Structure 1
Amino acid sequence: MSEYVNAALAYARAVVAGDLVACKWTKLACQRQLDDLEREPSAEWPWVFDVTRAERPCAFIELLPHIKGKWAREGRNIALEPWQCFIITTVYGWVHRETGLRRFLEVYEEIARKNAKSTKGSGLFLYSLTADGEHGAECYTAATTRDQARIVFDDARAMAERSPGLRTHLGLAIMQHSLTVAHTASKGAPLAAEGSTLDGLNVHFALLDELHAHKTRAVYDVIDTARGAREQSLLWTITTAGTDRSGICYERRTHITKILDKVVIDDRVFGIIYTIDDGDDPFDPAVWPKANPNFGKSVLPDDMAAAARKAEAMPSALNNFLTKRLNVWVSGESPWMDMRAWDRCAEPSLRDLSEYHGAKAWIGLDLAQKKDFAALSIVFQHNFLELGADGVYAPVEKWCLSTRLYLNELAIQESGNAHLSGWARQGYVQVTDGDLTDFDVVADDLRALCRQFDVQEIAFDPALSMYFAGKLIEEGLPLVEITQRAIFFTPALIQVENLVLEGKLCHDGNPVMAWMVSNLVVKVSKFNELMSPTKERPENKIDGPISALMALGRALANEPSNTIEQGFVSL
């Protein structure tokens, strides 16, 4: 096995074992690779790890010279660090066992400034152009401006000028605004951010620099769609954190975190994030290597300490320190749930509620007819036998949550979520005919649950469902209006999160519900610190968690109230 793969595996094992300081996302990325290496090839898993393919780009990059700073003055070549070997060998080592084509088609790398990302990116750009075995390779660097895109390109051009072998052995021609290889009809160039001017590309390799600064998704989308004609085109994004959680960068970041959390399965995308963990003190030097794997190399401790002192003394400098030096996204919103804790609470037996007949229960109802889901959550308490520390089984009372989700067939067909149709086929979403979700199906389920359980309340939002609710009230169902305000949701958000973290809540393991829970972020008011559940973009559905919060919020309130301040009115 090569020195690069050995270094990569040693790094991954040290991170997972806790021997190297790393954040949770880095640990999960390393664990993903170690787990994948243990898998046997099959029809569902057609990938094998090719050590030779893994080491080639590493060996290529280490033949290139440094072109900036003291190492350039000393005439030194690039020497990859173990963390860099881990990323490169993982991306390039996995291939299809029959075709030999690369597994990964997209890479998302989020890391603090000064961690040699331009140096590595320039090396990968030159490798893809000259040594990746692709004829007619089109390789690009892209950013918000042509000047930004030229940073990586100009570094690559300078490396090429100081590497005669690229010209004599690989046929690289160096020009002011492009690099070409005549015998393979390949070219490389920088691209600007005007997405409308990028049509007609046939991308083999594209390096998107500082994606967080892209005000629109135009460049990403154009390059992404320009890869369809290539069998193993690679879109590589390297960025630091930013502030715009509604932009394309945070969208890609969210997708990566869900892959690492195993909420979403996407075997063709590799992602790694270097940042500090929630709860870390940003001014503690012990946590700085989490966001800076090149700490002590290109990231100098004295420079970091000076930036930290400035941020601590000047509030105006704090956000810049957090985003640029520690790779922390700065916003008034934060993720609600620890998804690993949520997954630990799964109890698939709750998909069959027949054994809980007669239990005192509460129901939450969040209705929508077109593009959003209709969601119904029922909660009740039940004693489970669990093995204690003394080795004796004892009953433990837990809150049980079961959620039903409804969506019309047109919304599923038009959804950009590739997993949704599969979830529907598996029965995790109840599909109704046409272009509007059929509320009669929801009403039938409500009636059935009221016959099966001792339902205390059915909490609903009157803004969307008064006519629907009126008919059920006439039938005697115990509907209760919930005004969806922060004053109601604040205690529910806190209490439900605590129940999950303490293992005192169990749910039916619906993967659509897990996806929705991972979408929910909490917006905290600057004036009274009240909390509101929200989502960062329209496609991030949260209807299921809203219905669960309504049900659990009422159940945990202990006794009904009819004050507006409590967020509801009894009917």
Structure 2
Amino acid sequence: MTLSTFPEWIYDGSPIDDPLGRGDRAVKFLRALRHPKSGMPFQLDPWQERIVRRVYGPRHPDGSRIVRTVVMLLPRGNRKTSLAAALGLLHTIGPEAVPNGEVITAASDRKQARIAYEEARGLCRAHPKIAPKVKSLDYRNRLQYPANGAFFEAISADAGTQHGRTPAFCLADELHAWKKRDLWDVLRSGLVKTSGALLVVATTAGRGQENIAWDIVEDARKAARGKFDDPSLLPILFEADRDCDWTDEAVWRRVNPGLAHGYPDIEGLRQLALEGTRRVGDRESFRQLNLNIWLDHSSDPFVDMSVYDEGFGDVDLDSLEADQEQCWLAVDLSSNSDLTVIVACWRDGDDGYQVHPWFFCPEDNIDAREALSGVPYRIWAQEGWITPTPGNVVDFRIVEDQIRELAARFNVVEMAFDPHMARNMLNNLAEDGYPAVEMRQGWVTMAPAVKELERAIVGRRFKHGQHPVLRWNFENIQVHTDSAGNRVFHKGKSKDKIDGAQATAMAVARCSTGNSNRSSYDSADLDIEEWAFVG
């Protein structure tokens, strides 16, 4: 049974250590701030006060703060940016400030960064004693406090290099929207330069697992479940279960702590949920942004990725080689913008499969691919999950050499090719006696392949060894269904690749037919024009 990540300590009334009174001091400062519009004291509701006390109260014997990193996962509308901006002021003009301290709020783009800046500026201007002591530099999104030399500045991940930063406090706002990790790495390395620096990650749930936000939140989940002991990390995770009843208002109230205090608007949530019952896209948006359910990339997924993940078991290539188990290869050669992939498939028991892919991409545009897709192509290449080939297009000679190496190593009984772009390679291999065949990509051919792959995954009879690029391809899949209920793969957005998943369906389908080189789909009926798959 999976342990809950819900922060019960926020509501259970348990004591929070505060030996030096720093938690109480922080609460008093925040309550002394004023709202820009009403002039009333800053609204620090009980759940927020517990968080502040938990961050600033507990201390090491030498008096230093125990908590160094806060990961706060909150649905949209729960005023996480307002709270984080107020905490930033606590470190700029409040009792946590240090001389010449840098307080940085970082967001994915300039517009989002400006929101945090305006929140902080509004709080300063609303207080008659603070306003004259703080200088606003709007063109730089910066608040300066000349009395101690500290400043509060909002920056964005799309603003170029930020090297040289040494923040005493850093807010990573809406981390799920950061396309690259460059700024994250710069800020993390800068935080260790300042004694007692604090990092606050405040974000809603995102999509996919190939991003820095997933890594950080997943690490926080492990901490919340007690998988490791790190008192410096404070996870505050308000997220609904993936398989919850998303229409249940009790679920809404559990993961939206502000609802008990009037925000977000309950009627607005009801309207969004009503629209979600009619439109899949609106439903998925509601689950992600308002219930904090981390979604897959696709809005119409092929399978539940949590079920796919159950096939994490290792695929032992050495044992498969030694035992000379029959192997089927499927090859999908790419255009300039797609991935090229070879997928090998072996039987796993009587009705299961195990697969292993080999991906290729051009070396010259690997960084551009990473910037466009937001996935870590460069890291994947360094870790061996992708093979970069010289130049700005995939070198098919390297791919063909890999196929020949696999045929020499494993008991390959068939090599199935998507014929698009593969004529020369297929002919080369066939002339040399390799069992190379075409596998057309239309509905008639691929619908049975997709059906067999789905059966294997849902039946927990599909082992993939946790290959990260293959997983990314699977979570990008959208499914097209014809009037007869036949399904084929399609990619929903041009930047999302599904080539590995397509080749996997091919390999599984060929493996399921046995060791005949003749496809079970070959027939005179296939001479008709098929709707071609566009990869």
Which interval holds the TM-score relative to the shorter structure? Answer: 0.5 to 0.7
Pairwise CA distance, 1:126: 1.0
CA-to-partner distance for each residue in 1:407-461, whole Å, 9 max, x for gaps? 5655668774896666556655456566654434433443454466664542222
Judge conservation of contact 2:73–2:292 (CA < 8 Å) in 1: no
Letter in 2 for 1:355: A
SS at match of 1:464: coil
Match of 2:84 in 1: 121
Give the TM-score, by structure 2 length: 0.65
Judge conservation of contact 1:54–1:88 (CA < 8 Å) in 2: no
Match of 1:399 in 2: 353
Structure 2: how far apart are the matches of 1:475 and 1:468? 11
Structure 1: how far apart are the matches of 2:256 and 2:185? 29
Match of 1:555 in 2: 511
SS at match of 2:355: strand
Pairwise CA distance, 1:478: 3.3
SS at match of 2:460: coil
Judge conservation of contact 1:201–1:226 (CA < 8 Å) in 2: no
Structure 2: how far apart are the matches of 1:55 and 1:472? 75
Judge conservation of contact 1:367–1:465 (CA < 8 Å) in 2: yes
- Structure 1 residues 134 and 557 mapped into 2: Cα distance closer, same or farther (>3 Å)? farther
Structure 2: how far apart are the matches of 1:411 and 1:270? 39
Match of 2:332 in 1: 366
Residues 225-240 of structure 1 mapped to structure 2, 5 A cutoff: 231=193, 238=202
CA-to-partner distance for each residue in 1:110-153, whole Å, 9 max, x for gaps? 5131x232441232221232425362425458762898456522
Letter in 2 for 1:561: D
- Structure 1 residues 59 and 457 mapped into 2: Cα distance closer, same or farther (>3 Å)? farther
Aligned partner of 1:284 among 233, 248, 260: 248
Match of 1:479 in 2: 436
Pairwise CA distance, 1:405: 3.1
Judge conservation of contact 1:374–1:405 (CA < 8 Å) in 2: yes
Pairwise CA distance, 1:186: 1.6
Q: Does 1:443 align with 2:400?
A: yes
CA-to-partner distance for each residue in 1:459-478, whole Å, 9 max, x for gaps? 22222222111211223433
Report percent identity of matched pairs: 19
SS at match of 1:282: coil
Judge conservation of contact 2:113–2:154 (CA < 8 Å) in 1: yes
Match of 1:156 in 2: 123
Structure 2: how far apart are the matches of 1:280 and 1:61? 35
- Structure 1 residues 399 and 256 mapped into 2: Cα distance closer, same or farther (>3 Å)? same
Pairwise CA distance, 1:185: 1.2
Report how many residues are paired.
483
Pairwise CA distance, 1:288: 1.3
- Structure 1 residues 493 and 297 mapped into 2: Cα distance closer, same or farther (>3 Å)? farther
Give the TM-score, by structure 1 length: 0.62
Match of 2:98 in 1: 133
CA-to-partner distance for each residue in 1:54-94, whole Å, 9 max, x for gaps? 9957862454227569x997x6872552897399749x999
- Structure 1 residues 567 and 200 mapped into 2: Cα distance closer, same or farther (>3 Å)? closer
Structure 2: how far apart are the matches of 1:82 and 1:123? 11
Letter in 1 for 2:251: V
SS at match of 1:354: helix
Where in structure 1 are there 5+ consecutive unaligned residues? Answer: 1-14, 19-25, 31-50, 242-248, 384-395
Q: Does 1:188 align with 2:142?
A: no
SS at match of 1:133: coil
Structure 1: how far apart are the matches of 2:443 and 2:233? 37
Match of 2:225 in 1: none
Structure 2: how far apart are the matches of 1:61 and 1:123? 11
Judge conservation of contact 1:180–1:187 (CA < 8 Å) in 2: yes
- Structure 1 residues 145 and 449 mapped into 2: Cα distance closer, same or farther (>3 Å)? closer
Structure 2: how far apart are the matches of 1:498 and 1:87? 51
Judge conservation of contact 2:333–2:339 (CA < 8 Å) in 1: yes
RMSD, aligned CA = 5.8
Residues 33-72 of structure 1 mapped to structure 2, 5 A cutoff: 60-61=26-27, 63-65=29-31, 67=34
SS at match of 2:30: coil
